[in-house]
Structures are given as structure tokens and as C-alpha cells.
Amino acid sequence: MATRQIYLDHNATTPLHPEVKAAMREAAEVFGNPSSLHAFGRQARQLIEDARATVAGFIGAEPEEMVFVGSGSEANNTVLSSLTCCSGHCDARGETLRQLITSRIEHPCVLEASKCIQEKGITVLYLDVVRTGKIDLGQLKKVLSGKRGLVSMMMANNETGTIQDIKQAAKLAHEAGALFHTDAVQAVGKIPVNVCDLGVDFLTLSGHKIYGPKGVGAIYVKKGVPFCPLIRGGHQEQGRRAGTENTIGIAGLGAAVAQRVKEMPGEAARLRTLRTMLSEGLTQRIPESTVNGHVTDCLAGTLNISFAGAEGEAILLYLDLEGIAVSTGSACASGSLDPSHVLLAMGLSPEQAHGSIRLSLGRDTTEDEVSFVLEKLPEVITRIRKMSTAYVRRENTNDGK
């Protein structure tokens, strides 16, 4: 194992904030069932409701509009699955909701859920994206024309960091009579998010992306919007998610959000400076390297970059030997050898997509760590390219022109 360890995979998961650890240790002493009416139960219930108020306030919602669930993936599946359940088939006017509109760059949990509901008879339409990773809102307006349904669009992409115009997309959906959901798992805690300003009907988030625990997420459900539980069998979460609440995890999520309130405002500028240092340094030092994603409308701490003549998996492994942790894309798709569906949708070739890595920075990332990456990554790319017979042959051909 390398003597130095640098973690640049915060979009996959984040380390627990020290204050979150402390809050969870304290919550671990509260063992009562939150549904019980005695003192032990009331103590647990208070922890949950305090966290609910904190999370709701952070995104501009009312506490009763928040539903705690087991993960961001469960949250997204719950919203999309509402289209196939009895109470989810009608909107506020009693008209059927039989269409889902989403995009080709969504998280795997949304894409897989979309396939599932399509098999159950729901029409699913997929929006295209341009080279920067921005979703084509003109296409959205066109396919929405005169149709009811649900639009599901991620706020910030987990692989490239590109941020979508959710406010405008939600406006278009509502003008057509459709409901709107945004997967904000990568956005909440990194950029300002206010559900009232955005005008969304559903918003989903996750604890472990913002220095909170794994195994807990939340759904914002706007008052009056039709909703159908994914997990049934109990009255918990206002009857919207059965199962005894994860008191420790929910307390941890609340604590994580409380820390984001304090730290997020000053963090973005620092991370953007480090990202620029990393981006410019790599493209200057490594020929045939290309940054993927929108130049300005992107998360401050996310950098996706492609290197010709190098496989992303090989880059990852060589960097790991140097003590540097990065990703080749979505952590939820890391077991697949297929090129990134996000990068392919943006117009990259399979070779370019295979030669991409994602570096995602966090609250503990330092300038010294970025400098170390700028020292080691060019050496790794040079080493890999020398082993690539196709790349060497191409270089020799170009030299002979």
C-alpha cells in the first residue's frame, strides 16, 4: 500500500464528517422504536423530527413534505414507481399519468427503474444531450406537447458534474400538465437548492454524498401531489414508507445537513480553484487530453477527463498504486466493462469514453494533494501509452507525415 493516500472519489461516497460521527454515537444510545408512545419511543421520535426539520429547511421545504427512505436509489425508485401503482395513475385533475420522460444520462437507478415501468405498460421517452452534457430542453418541450405524465431529470450529473436548468425544465413540464422530479443526490449540499424556487414536485437526496451515513436518503413530496409508497406494511413516515425508521442514520443525515449549512457557502469557491488547477495542469502536461462536461455550469469539485491511448481502468489501478483514488464513472456501474452511457450520450466515441476518469474533490482536498496528482498522473498516462501498441503505432505514423 502506498505511503500516501489521496481520496478523489467524493461523488461515489464521502467520509463521515466528525460532527456526524458524534451525532450518530449519541443517537446510538437511543434505542426506542420511534412509533412507540412511551418515553423511549418519544425520545427516538424527537431525533427523527429534528432531522426532518433540518433537512426540510435546507431545501426550502416544509417538514411534513419530507419522507425518509433507505437510500437515494430507493428514493428515485419510489418516485418513478408511483406511475405504476393505483394511486399514482392520476394527477390532481384525475387525469391518467401514463408517460415518463427522462434523459439518457440519468443515474443507473433511474434508467433501470424506467425499463421496469416500461415493461408494465408505461410509455418512456428519453431526452438527448448535447456535447456539454446539457439536456435538450427544446426536445423536452416538443415531447411534452399535450401529454400528462412525469418528467424525471437529474440536477447535477454524477460523472461529469454538469448542472441542468431544472427550474426551466419544471416550468415546461407544468405548462404541459406533467409532474416533475429531480434526482438531486449530487447537487444537494454542493450548490444552493430550493424546491420552491425550482418549482419541482419531487426531489430526492442521499446522506452519504454529503459526509453523512450510507443507508439513508430522503424524498421531498410537494403538498397535494399524488404519491404511492414503494414499501408498504406500516404507518411510518406518514404512511409513505413502511418499516421502523433508521433513527441513527436519520440523525446522521440531519447532522450532515447542519454541517453543510455552515460549510457549503465557502467550500465551492475553494473547490473550483482546485478543480481549475487540476484541469489546466493535466491538459497542459498531457497531450490529447479532453475535459468532459460543461465549462461553467458544473459542480465545483467534479472533473471528468479523457486521455487518448489509455484505458480508464488501467489509469485507476496505476493511480491506486500511487495512493490516489479516482473513478472511471458511476460507482453503481463500476462492475460493468461497457463504456460510460453518459459520455456516449454526449457524443464521445467508445474509445474516448473508455479512456476517461472522474476526479471528484471534497472538503478535505488540499492544494498539495492536487499538486501530487499533477506530478503522478502524467507519468501514469505516459506509461500506459507506451504499452499501447495501437497508440504507439499511431504516433509513429503521425511522426512520419
Strand partners, 171: none
Q: Kindly state whether residue 368 falls inside one of the protein's structural domains.
A: yes
Which of the residues in the chain have pLDDT under 70? 1, 86-97, 146-147, 329-337, 389-390, 392-401
Residues 235 and 327 in one domain: no
Residue where a domain stops, chosen among 259, 282, 307: 259
Which residue type is seen at 31? Answer: F
Q: Kindly state whether residue 400 falls inside one of the protein's structural domains.
A: no
pLDDT digits (tens, 9 = 90+) for 239-259: 999 999 999 999 999 999 999
Q: Kindly state whether residue 226 falls inside one of the protein's structural domains.
A: yes
Q: Kindly state whether residue 397 falls inside one of the protein's structural domains.
A: no
Nearest to residue 300, comparing CAs of 324, 267, 251?
Answer: 267
CA dihedral for 209, 211, 214, 216, sign (positive or negative): negative
Residues 174 and 133 in one domain: yes
Nearest to residue 189, comparing CAs of 104, 271, 67, 251?
Answer: 271
Residues 271 and 255 in one domain: no
CA dihedral for 361, 364, 366, 371, sign (positive or negative): negative
Nearest to residue 128, comparing CAs of 156, 102, 147?
Answer: 102
Give residue 135's domain range.
18-259
Strand partners, 168: none
Q: Kindly state whether residue 101 falls inside one of the protein's structural domains.
A: yes
Calpha distance 244→140 (Å, rounded):
39
Residues 177 and 204 in one domain: yes
Nearest to residue 107, comparing CAs of 331, 299, 297, 352?
Answer: 331
Calpha distance 317→228 (Å, rounded):
43
Residues 343 and 195 in one domain: no
Domain count, the chain: 2
Residue where a domain stops, chosen among 234, 259, 284: 259
Residues 6 or more apart in contact with residue 333 via CB below 8 angstroms? 108, 340, 341
Rounded to a whole number, what is the distance in angstroms from the first to the last CA of the chain?
44
Q: Kindly state whether residue 291 falls inside one of the protein's structural domains.
A: yes
Residues 43 and 152 in one domain: yes
Residues 103 and 161 in one domain: yes
Grid cell, residue 178, equals 406533467
Calpha distance 315→77 (Å, rounded):
33
Residues 211 and 302 in one domain: no
Residues 221 and 340 in one domain: no
Q: Kindly state whether residue 399 falls inside one of the protein's structural domains.
A: no
Q: Kindly state whether residue 1 falls inside one of the protein's structural domains.
A: no
User: What Cα–Cα distance (Å) separates residue 305 from each residue in 32, 180, 253, 291, 398?
Assistant: 48, 31, 31, 4, 23
Q: What is the CATH number of the domain that holds 24?
A: 3.40.640.10
Calpha distance 205→245 (Å, rounded):
17
Q: What is the CATH number of the domain that holds 375?
A: 3.90.1150.10
DSSP summary character for residue 230:
S
Determine the Cα angle at 233 with ends 229 and 239, to 5°.
Answer: 50
Cβ atoms of residues 278 and 58 within 8 Å = no
Classify 349 as helix, strand or coil. coil
Calpha distance 353→350 (Å, rounded):
5
Residues 83 and 222 in one domain: yes
CB atoms within 10 A of CB 119: 10
Residue where a domain stops, chosen among 232, 259, 286: 259
Cβ atoms of residues 268 and 358 within 8 Å = no
Map grid coordinates 421545504 to a residue. Answer: 61
Helix (H) or strand (E) holding 307: strand 302-307
Catalytic positions? 332
Residues 240 and 303 in one domain: no
Residues 202 and 324 in one domain: no
CA atoms within 13 A on the CB side of 85: 15
User: What Cα–Cα distance (Å) separates residue 215 from each residue in 72, 175, 218, 356, 395?
Assistant: 9, 36, 11, 29, 48
CB atoms within 10 A of CB 225: 17
